[in-house]
Amino acid sequence: MQEIKKKTIIIGLGNPIVSDDGVGIKAVRILSETIKDDAITFKEIYIGGMQLMEAMVGYDRALIIDAIAAGGVVGSFYELALSDISRSRNSYSSHDTDLLSAIDLGRMAGLLLPNDIKFWAIEVKDVITFSEGLTEEVQNALPDFIKVIAQDLLDGEI
């Protein structure tokens, strides 16, 4: 019997013109070039809240990649549960709501949202400078961050 693949969306979250805040976007671009699987969709999202929730409609699994500024060692990366998502830089929108509230609203409205949502974040240094480039520390950590996420996908952990 052939294995049924779960329909998965991988979302790079952030602002691609604000230095390290764009690391989620850069990560999803690299992953989309290296992983070719019809069951996986890659998407860039620039704002959290309702728009982020709406991107997940119709998928079995979701993986969100974002920057985090939690005061840890720059370049460290974290696997977070949905309940930890408020710690990310971009999971909320000041124009509508946070992701957890958006997911609750979506489910109440009957939208088919994934039960399996995972979050990967990398500790960043600069989230205020207008630049399309990452800081050296984050740029140097990005290849290992990508490897960990790719391995997570291969292991079927998300």
Q: Which has more confidence, 93 or 106? A: 106
Averaged pLDDT, 99-126: 93
Instruction: Report the DSSP pairing between strands 77-80 and 116-123.
Output: antiparallel
Does pLDDT of 89 surpass 70?
Answer: no
Average pLDDT, the chain: 88
CATH superfamily, region 8-154:
HybD-like (3.40.50.1450)
CA nearest to 77, candidates 125, 156, 4, 148: 148
Averaged pLDDT, 116-126: 94
Query: Taking the model in full, what pTM does it have?
Result: 0.88
What span, in angstroms and rounded, lies between the C-alpha atoms of 103 and 148? 26
For the chain, give the percent of residues with pLDDT over 90: 70
Q: What is the pLDDT of residues 134-157, one digit of tens each?
A: 999 999 999 999 999 999 887 765
What span, in angstroms and rounded, lies between the C-alpha atoms of 66 and 20? 10
Q: Locate tokens 């974290």: which residue?
A: 78
Phi, psi (5° rounding) for residue 148? -65, -45
Does pLDDT of 26 surpass 50?
Answer: yes
Whether residue 26 contacts residue 138, with contact meaning beta carbons closer than 8 Å, is answered with no
What integer pLDDT is reported at residue 110 of this predicted model? 96
| Confidence grade of residue 85 (pLDDT, cut at 50, 70, 90) | low
Averaged pLDDT, 55-71: 94
